Structure 1
Amino acid sequence: MHTQAISPWAAAIADKFNDQDLPNIYQKIIGNYTYSVHNIGDSLWLIISWHSGGRIAVRMAYSPNSDIRITRLTEKDGQVTFYIDAVIGSYSVRLEMPVDNQIPVLRYTTTLKPVADLFIPFWPRDIIALNKDGNEKQPGGKIHASQWGTRTGFVYFSMERPQSGSVYYVQNLTALADYCQETETSGADTVGGQWPELGFALPPAVKKPLPASKEFIISDGFLALSEEVPADELKMSRQFMDLLAAIYLRLPLPKTQYRDWQDITNKCLNDLVNSHGCWSHADGHDYLNAYVSDYDTPPEIMVQLAVLLPLYEYSLWSDEEIPAVKKIIDGLSAFYDKELGTINRWLPALVDELDESEEQLKPYVMDAWYLHHPMVNLARMALDGDKITRKLFLDSLEYMIKVAHRFEYKWPVFYDMRSLEIIKGNKQPGQGGEGDVAGLYAFVMLHAWDLTKDDRYLNEAKKAAKSLLGLGFDLFYQANNTALAAKAMIRLWNITKDKIYLDLSFLCLTNIFRNMQLWDCNYGYGKHYSTFFAVFPLADAPYTAAYEEAEVFACIHNYLELAADEDLPESVSLLLAEFIRYIVERVAYYYPPNLPKEILSEEVKMGKVDPDLWIALEDIHDGWEKSGKVGQEVYGAGVAFGIVPRHYLKVPGQEFLIYCDYPVTKFTKKGKTVSFDVRGDSRLTCRMMIVKKDKQALPEFKVYQKGEKEKLELKGKPAKRNLEFTVTGNSKVTVTWG
């Protein structure tokens, strides 16, 4: 029988702890878990034991080939701290025990003060899975997902032999900023491993040493524990979100600041409309470039519609006519390919100008999502009464259905639009094609059903949705498309009340959260911008991107509106609201005027980067890399236009706005009173502001908040010209004025 290969270090530790008489220096039984701490000479270990016999060993301190000596141990308020002397320096290890028996979460934080400048060429991972005490066989388990690149430093796994439960481990990489800064190392790819040796390994310091006589955090680990091994991907996605939320409540969260998005939006609108680098003229119409000053690539319909929709939303919110809206709409019909009976990605009149330098830059080569995404946006305009977009949408439906049937709802990456032959089937070898396109297609079909009331389209949506089953964490191809798929699933749940669609919506959300960055890169160039809760556009993308983040943001808002009357799991409500709270502060860093010029890349792949232009960069990188390498994406212009209508609540007839950085629903006004529901979780808070529209003094306000128990009056504090309040999540807020 084949067994999993293991390292000598894992084998030695498994042998060491396969001994019932091994003494401990600390032990605690809390709920159904036993926690014991052992000093074995070169390492300080925490052993976590399930009642079923499964165990994991967590290495809290390590000093190669030396005896570590516990000089002092203190215990207070659920925290036990170990003070250690070792050859390489002095350690302190603070262990915070679980306080919630429902989802136990523990934290250990290790600091090191080197005795000399210290190179660290190797550091072992900090978790090893163990079998039952006295059982020499290797434990069996499964790693469901782990960190890739600079995403959250996590590993999520289950103990299957003996069947014990699951663990979600997060390394708070924000805490390692000083270490990374001094050693010029990165938090990328530091958490993962192979069964049974998992967890975090300190990035090797071989370029610059860790300086002596200064204290550094070298680990800040969190573990959420469960006694359940998920039976399938749907249960796995629920457990993923529940365990992540439990850890999130214990994480040290970065502070946010209010961004004046009205001012940013005015600057963006001015530069979008008036910058020659944003526009090209082709075939008798003006079209938006994909990137600033990229005149070589023919116009793309996705680019036009990606800007049109948020620009149109903003025009409705502001009650202003924006001429660029009509200009974009007037050029859309030219994208219809009469020969194929569908819209094309590229302007057909200029398709021969493609340079064919990449697969997708060839005539009639379609990247699967590029057909569906424009169709979603055409439908949204059509549902609002626009005749041009309605005709384009309806005229392209049959072609789209033909493609779906050809690929049996499993889309490849690239295919030939004429022959429907597959050009590139898999995103990576063995990983399948664009899994989330089935959800995107379902969303298109739901819009077709909305427009026509033809049940054929509803049935197509159902078939496509169920094809997502079995994809697990491979469902994700592109972040915004996975978010649109989540919206499609929650809509199908609303229509049918078939629980499979609700569960599939959670699976889509889980895929998005698996591709987020829950830490701040505060080293190198990263000191100048925030990365906390950033979304990566692709599963293997090395950077975060403005356009995909803006669309995920809008989709999460819409998802919560569609689920306004649903009892979402606490974990889902909490994490979605917190994502929104951070994105409305963080995405302002995509605009070059908000960044020091020295962090912008001198080499740009597409067009050029104008550091004074309020058009978002495509790419923000790890702190040791410059950003803006790809270019300034005109199609990411929707960032600001999407934020203002969703976070600035207009009060009819009044000279003030109400801003909230959590998503809100059910906004109503009666006389001189408005009320709305704040989403999220009651254990966390958000920022609400009364924002002045002109120079007149604000009236007197009374603000009340009603949570699960009592109604409270909130006191505001001045914030420049505005008034700021701290509001609890999952509450109803009432604002009155005199």
Structure 2
Amino acid sequence: MKPISALTSSSQDNLENGTVLLEKAFGCYPLQILFDGFCLWLVAIWPDGGRMAFRAGLFNTEKLQLKSQRETTDGIQIALEGKTGSTKINLNFPDPAKPIFHYTASFTPAFDLLPPNAARDIMPLFKGQGRTQNTSGRIHASQIGLRSGLLFFTLEQPKSGSVFYFQNLTALNPFCEATGTSAGDLVGGSWPEIGLKLPETSSGKPLKKDKEYVISDAYVCLSDAVPSDNYEISRLYLDSLAAVYRLLPIPETKYHDWPDILKRGLDGLSNHKGCWKFADGRSYLNAYVSDYKTPPESMVQLAVLLPLTDFDEWSGEDHSPIIEALHNGLENFYDPQLGTIVRWLPALEKNLDWSEEQKEPGVMDSWYLHHPLLNLSRLALKGDANAKKLLLDSLPYTIKVARHFSYEWPVFYNMATLEVLKAETAPGKGGEKDVPGAYAHLMLQAWKLTGNKTYLEEACRAAKKLDGLGLDVFYQANNTAFSAGALLSLYKETKDKIFLDLSHLCIAAILNNVQLWECNYGNARHYPTFFAVYPLKDAPYTAAYEEQEVFAALHEFLIEADSVDEVLPSVKMLLAECLRHIINRVAYYYPPMLPNEVIADKEDVKTGEIDPNLWIALEDLQDGWNRSGQVGQEVYGAGVAFGIVPRQYHRVDEANLMVFTDYPAANFRKSGNTLTFQLQGGSEMQCRMATVPIKKDKPIPKLTVAAGQSSKKRMPVHALATAKGAFKEYILNGCSSIKIEW
């Protein structure tokens, strides 16, 4: 029997003695609307009699009167009133084909009011008159920090089914703005006291008299599934999230002139002295603007070199001075005694200041060993002989480390002795759990480069170590994204279903660490946050470089998944939406896109300095009540624009035309004066396309655009009325076949 609070106990007593106002059936689930004199409850009932109660008004601290109750074409509206204020509840069933209900509760204070503390809003109930504390359940996912306000759990005693509960936290912005509170960490709890708990108002800022505030905006998706393993959990999570996502009020995206942003960033990267340092006979990029104390890092050089090389190939322009400068210093990171590329420039490693665990000579952060090698492998596959040599010379050491740790890496270890310096991220939480996937990705790259099946075998051994980790597989977003792609490739190569299951699991873990709400309070009014991807599972801010890498990895995943029917449709839709919103959001990491008052003061910047006029990304965008850029202005984040432009813009040079899409697109074919291609994503969702001149001072031909679900069903599509001159914008459905003629 689980302990419960007195507030939950009295709430259950009130509920069990309440009056059923009416009962609605949706699918095979009856839903009772019940009033207990203190609040309104929505009680979902499974076919076997299991019950789950959702409190639709959170302030259950006083007696209330039922003022009105009426059914509408959209659902049910109920009004309650007490001495402190009035509450309105709207209930509807937005998707007749799915067991989902949606309710919104809004509260209007009768006077300036400090909201009272209240219990969480979900109460599992036993069959009949059994007590809440007799139930048992398993929580698979809940909100951490500023991530999505969701709770995904299974009612196991009685063994009834699962619930995917999603709070649209965007609707709570006025509440947070008024009370000076954050929408982070609101949805969670411990069984059986779970759900939403409104933030406590320690600031003393009240809700204002006669102003209406949304205090709950919940979507509830029910299932009779009781998943038996991590793979069933991840599939149910993904399908439930997709079902709810389609119903959310999704914010609009806008077109950003990424080619122009790229040119500004390239100019800053090339000419701003704070981006560079000279050491060991070569020029190297700093990790952060004006950070001259920290030795150069191999990851930083390659994090810019690789996407810059991609852009160089795409554009046909010559960026050889900066490419050569970055390229020429790579070999200095090779340590012949260890036989591998290392993190810090060996000639200056003695200058590390020991201020952090990894800033000590000889210490390796496990994921970091593989990351530079991954980028070297990509350069090698492009034909770079020096990158190939550095990679192949480093692989024996890398494999030795992997086998030493049995493909389960700690957080930190000594590179020379392989002594574990920090085994776990936190007590009982394990090490860097997604590194086996990143290692598998590296081994697959080496196999593609050499044809040596030893590398393929290494990839398979490492990948299977991810089995059993569940959504906790996520350690760092970019590594988990690389893992998802590697696992999909292994499935395509071996047809072993475990790799497809693990790939879905990694995608679920990534989507469990995003922010599916728009933070419009405080400083965050100046930048979008919807579908923000967090770099670590407990990180309090989003980070530019990790988001850029997630973007690149998931873009490649979707292109690869296009030919794999077994990849869940929910995955293809959600990832296309993720990429669309990344493209919309990451422009705001650049300081010139932000007002100065939301950027951290000089004394609050952890590393280096911030130049607010420089088109180099801030590392961090924070919760609305904090200023951004506190970590620093990351030079290695300069690859953001270099990564987006070659992937999202398709050039037709003879027509002076670039075609931009904010969904991934594939199968581009040009024939005469016609361009055709296929959009990815879900057919029920919409994305943005733009036609843009390559040279802004020259015209592009008159264009006609047609789109449809197949080449035989294309229909004419007209540009948005807001488009001007040669620049035109179009709204298209995902999965469309597009034809542009001129």
Q: In the alignment, what sits opposite 1:618? A: 619
Is residue 18–residue 135 contact of structure 1 (8 Å, CA) maintained in 2? no
Gaps of at least 5 residues in structure 2 are none
Question: Residues of 2 paired with 1:644 and 1:155: CA distance?
Answer: 36
Instruction: Say which SS state the counterpart of residue 25 (structure 1) adopts.
Output: strand
Deviations 1:523-562, CA, capped at 9 Å, x for gaps: 0111111111001111111100000000000001100111
Q: In the alignment, what sits opposite 1:226? A: 223
Q: In the alignment, what sits opposite 2:56? A: 60
Q: In the alignment, what sits opposite 1:376? A: 374
Question: Residues of 1 paired with 2:439 and 2:709: CA distance?
Answer: 39
1:504-523 alignment, distance < 5 Å = 504-523=502-521
Q: Given the alignment of the two structures, is residue 725 of structure 1 paired with residue 730 of structure 2, yes or no?
A: yes
Instruction: Say which SS state the counterpart of residue 114 (structure 2) adopts.
Output: strand
Is residue 15–residue 35 contact of structure 2 (8 Å, CA) maintained in 1? no
Question: Residues of 1 paired with 2:395 and 2:694: CA distance?
Answer: 44
1:352-501 alignment, distance < 5 Å = 352-501=350-499
Q: Given the alignment of the two structures, is residue 283 of structure 1 paired with residue 280 of structure 2, yes or no?
A: yes
Q: State the TM-score, normalizing by the size of structure 1.
A: 0.97
Deviation at 1:698, TM superposition (A): 3.2
Q: In the alignment, what sits opposite 1:653? A: 654
Question: Residues of 2 paired with 1:70 and 1:206: CA distance?
Answer: 31
Instruction: Say which SS state the counterpart of residue 561 (structure 1) adopts.
Output: helix
1:255-334 alignment, distance < 5 Å = 255-322=252-319, 323-334=321-332
2:129 aligned to 128, 131, 134, which one? 134
Deviations 1:420-466, CA, capped at 9 Å, x for gaps: 01000001111100011000000111111111111111000000000
Q: In the alignment, what sits opposite 2:73? A: 77
Deviations 1:186-230, CA, capped at 9 Å, x for gaps: 101111011111111111223211110111111111111111111
* Percent of residue pairs bearing the same amino acid type: 49
Is residue 120–residue 206 contact of structure 1 (8 Å, CA) maintained in 2? no
Deviations 1:370-411, CA, capped at 9 Å, x for gaps: 100111000000011101110100000010011001100100
Question: Residues of 2 paired with 1:345 and 1:121: CA distance?
Answer: 52
Is residue 111–residue 208 contact of structure 2 (8 Å, CA) maintained in 1? yes
Question: Residues of 1 paired with 2:386 and 2:118: CA distance?
Answer: 61
Deviation at 1:720, TM superposition (A): 2.8
Is residue 15–residue 34 contact of structure 2 (8 Å, CA) maintained in 1? no
Is residue 617–residue 637 contact of structure 2 (8 Å, CA) maintained in 1? yes
Instruction: Say which SS state the counterpart of residue 57 (structure 2) adopts.
Output: strand
Instruction: Say which SS state the counterpart of residue 610 (structure 1) adopts.
Output: coil
Q: State the TM-score, normalizing by the size of structure 2.
A: 0.97
Q: 1:300 to 1:669 in 2, by over 3 A?
A: same
Question: Residues of 2 paired with 1:130 and 1:155: CA distance?
Answer: 17
Instruction: Say which SS state the counterpart of residue 154 (structure 1) adopts.
Output: strand
Q: In the alignment, what sits opposite 1:713? A: 716
Letter in 1 for 2:435: V
Q: Given the alignment of the two structures, is residue 40 of structure 1 paired with residue 50 of structure 2, yes or no?
A: no
Is residue 592–residue 612 contact of structure 1 (8 Å, CA) maintained in 2? yes
Question: Residues of 1 paired with 2:717 and 2:120: CA distance?
Answer: 47
Deviation at 1:51, TM superposition (A): 0.5
Task: Say which is worse superposed, 466-475 or 120-129, in terms of deviation.
Answer: 120-129
Question: Residues of 2 paired with 1:319 and 1:65: CA distance?
Answer: 68
1:530-549 alignment, distance < 5 Å = 530-549=528-547
Q: In the alignment, what sits opposite 2:110? A: 115
Letter in 1 for 2:578: F
Question: Residues of 1 paired with 2:584 and 2:708: CA distance?
Answer: 26
Letter in 2 for 1:553: F
Is residue 26–residue 96 contact of structure 2 (8 Å, CA) maintained in 1? no
Letter in 1 for 2:308: L
Q: In the alignment, what sits opposite 2:585? A: 586
Q: In the alignment, what sits opposite 1:627? A: 628
Task: Say which is worse superposed, 126-135 or 659-668, in terms of deviation.
Answer: 126-135
Question: Residues of 1 paired with 2:677 and 2:232: CA distance?
Answer: 33
RMSD over aligned CA atoms reads 1.3
Q: In the alignment, what sits opposite 1:570? A: 569
Question: Residues of 2 paired with 1:74 and 1:41: CA distance?
Answer: 18
Deviation at 1:18, TM superposition (A): 5.0
Deviations 1:68-124, CA, capped at 9 Å, x for gaps: 2221122222311111211211111111125233x3221111111100110124122
Aligned residues, how many?
732
Instruction: Say which SS state the counterpart of residue 42 (structure 2) adopts.
Output: strand
Instruction: Say which SS state the counterpart of residue 705 (structure 1) adopts.
Output: strand
Instruction: Say which SS state the counterpart of residue 20 (structure 2) adopts.
Output: coil
Is residue 63–residue 86 contact of structure 1 (8 Å, CA) maintained in 2? no
Question: Residues of 2 paired with 1:111 and 1:4: CA distance?
Answer: 32
Letter in 1 for 2:529: T
Q: Given the alignment of the two structures, is residue 174 of structure 1 paired with residue 174 of structure 2, yes or no?
A: no
Deviation at 1:34, TM superposition (A): 0.6
Q: In the alignment, what sits opposite 1:596? A: 595
Is residue 119–residue 206 contact of structure 1 (8 Å, CA) maintained in 2? no
Question: Residues of 2 paired with 1:448 and 1:719: CA distance?
Answer: 46
Is residue 653–residue 694 contact of structure 2 (8 Å, CA) maintained in 1? no
Question: Residues of 2 paired with 1:300 and 1:63: CA distance?
Answer: 53
Deviation at 1:11, TM superposition (A): 2.5
Q: In the alignment, what sits opposite 1:104? A: 99
Q: Given the alignment of the two structures, is residue 246 of structure 1 paired with residue 249 of structure 2, yes or no?
A: no
Instruction: Say which SS state the counterpart of residue 125 (structure 1) adopts.
Output: coil
Question: Residues of 2 paired with 1:331 and 1:483: CA distance?
Answer: 28
Letter in 2 for 1:736: E
Is residue 478–residue 539 contact of structure 1 (8 Å, CA) maintained in 2? yes
Instruction: Say which SS state the counterpart of residue 210 (structure 1) adopts.
Output: coil
Deviation at 1:277, TM superposition (A): 0.5
Is residue 85–residue 108 contact of structure 2 (8 Å, CA) maintained in 1? yes
Letter in 2 for 1:701: L
Gaps of at least 5 residues in structure 1 are none
2:232 aligned to 235, 239, 245, which one? 235
Letter in 1 for 2:631: V
Q: In the alignment, what sits opposite 1:216? A: 213
Question: Residues of 2 paired with 1:255 and 1:170: CA distance?
Answer: 20
Task: Say which is worse superposed, 71-80 or 316-325, in terms of deviation.
Answer: 71-80
Instruction: Say which SS state the counterpart of residue 206 (structure 2) adopts.
Output: strand
Deviations 1:625-669, CA, capped at 9 Å, x for gaps: 011000000111111111111111112422111111111111111
Task: Say which is worse superposed, 326-335 or 125-134, in terms of deviation.
Answer: 125-134
Question: Residues of 2 paired with 1:11 and 1:321: CA distance?
Answer: 71
Deviation at 1:165, TM superposition (A): 1.2
Deviation at 1:65, TM superposition (A): 3.7
Question: Residues of 2 paired with 1:163 and 1:64: CA distance?
Answer: 29
Letter in 2 for 1:594: M
Is residue 659–residue 690 contact of structure 1 (8 Å, CA) maintained in 2? yes
Instruction: Say which SS state the counterpart of residue 160 (structure 2) adopts.
Output: strand
Instruction: Say which SS state the counterpart of residue 699 (structure 1) adopts.
Output: coil
Q: In the alignment, what sits opposite 2:149? A: 153
Letter in 2 for 1:97: F
Letter in 1 for 2:654: G
Question: Residues of 1 paired with 2:260 and 2:20: CA distance?
Answer: 60
Q: In the alignment, what sits opposite 1:527? A: 525
Is residue 18–residue 133 contact of structure 1 (8 Å, CA) maintained in 2? no
Deviation at 1:16, TM superposition (A): 4.6
Question: Residues of 2 paired with 1:70 and 1:736: CA distance?
Answer: 62
Deviation at 1:13, TM superposition (A): 3.6
